[in-house]
C-alpha cells in the first residue's frame, strides 16, 4: 500500500504519516527497491492504533517511548505495561474533568431554556455567566 492509499484509508495526511514515522510514533515502514514506502499489515495496525490514541489525546511522547520499547523485544514488556497504565490514568482523569465540564454545560443550557419560556424571564431564572 502506498502512502497515498494509507492516507486515504486512515484519513491521515501523507505528511502526517511521514511525520509519525520520522518521530518514531510508528516503526519504520518497509520500502520497495526504489525507496517508496509500502505499508503492510503491521504498519497499518500501528497507524490505526496511533490514530485511536492520538484522537483521544494520549501524549505523543509516551507513545513514542512505547514503540521504542516494543522494538527492543520481550524484555521491555513490563515497562511498556507501565506506560499504558500511566496513560490510562491520565485518560481517566481527563474524562472526569470533561464530565464535570459537561455537567456545567448541561446546567447552563437548562437555565437558558428556562429563560426562554415566556413569563419566566426575570422571575425564577437569573441567567448568570
The residues that touch a second copy, with contacts defined as CB under 8 A, are 45-46, 49, 52-53, 55-58, 70, 74, 77-78, 80-81, 84-85, 87-88, 91-92, 94-95, 97-102, 104-106, 108-109, 112-113, 115-116, 127-129
Q: How far is the CB of 63 from DNA (least distance, A)?
A: 9
Smallest gap from residue 65 Cβ to a second copy (A):
14
SS (H, E, C) 20-70: HHHHCCCCCCCECCCCCECCCHHHHHHHHHHHHHHHCCCCHHHHHHHHHHH
79 binds, among a second copy, DNA, none (CB under 5 to 8 A by kind): none
Q: Min. distance of Cβ 20 from a second copy in angstroms?
A: 14
Where on the chain is the footprint of DNA (CB under 7 A)?
Answer: 2-5, 13-16, 18-19, 22, 31, 33-37, 54, 59-61
Burial class (CB in 10 A: 0-12, 13-18, 19+), 65: middle
**Local structure of residue 75 (DSSP, 8 states):** G
R_g of the chain computed on alpha carbons: 23
Amino acid at each position: 500500500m502506498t502512502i497515498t492509499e494509507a492516507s486515504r484509508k486512515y484519513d491521515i495526511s501523507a505528511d502526517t504519516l511521514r511525520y509519525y514515522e520520522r518521530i518514531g510514533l510508528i516503526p519504520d515502514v518497509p520500502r520497495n527497491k526504489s525507496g517508496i514506502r509500502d505499508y503492510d499489515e503491521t504498519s497499518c495496525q500501528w497507524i490505526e492504533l496511533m490514530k485511536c490514541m492520538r484522537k483521544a489525546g494520549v501524549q505523543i511522547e509516551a507513545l513514542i517511548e512505547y514503540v521504542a520499547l516494543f522494538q527492543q523485544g520481550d524484555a521491555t514488556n513490563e515497562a511498556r505495561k507501565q506506560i499504558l497504565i500511566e496513560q490510562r490514568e491520565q485518560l481517566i482523569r481527563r474524562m472526569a474533568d470533561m464530565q464535570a465540564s459537561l455537567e456545567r454545560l448541561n446546567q447552563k443550557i437548562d437555565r437558558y431554556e428556562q429563560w426562554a419560556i415566556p413569563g419566566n424571564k426575570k422571575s425564577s431564572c437569573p441567567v448568570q455567566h
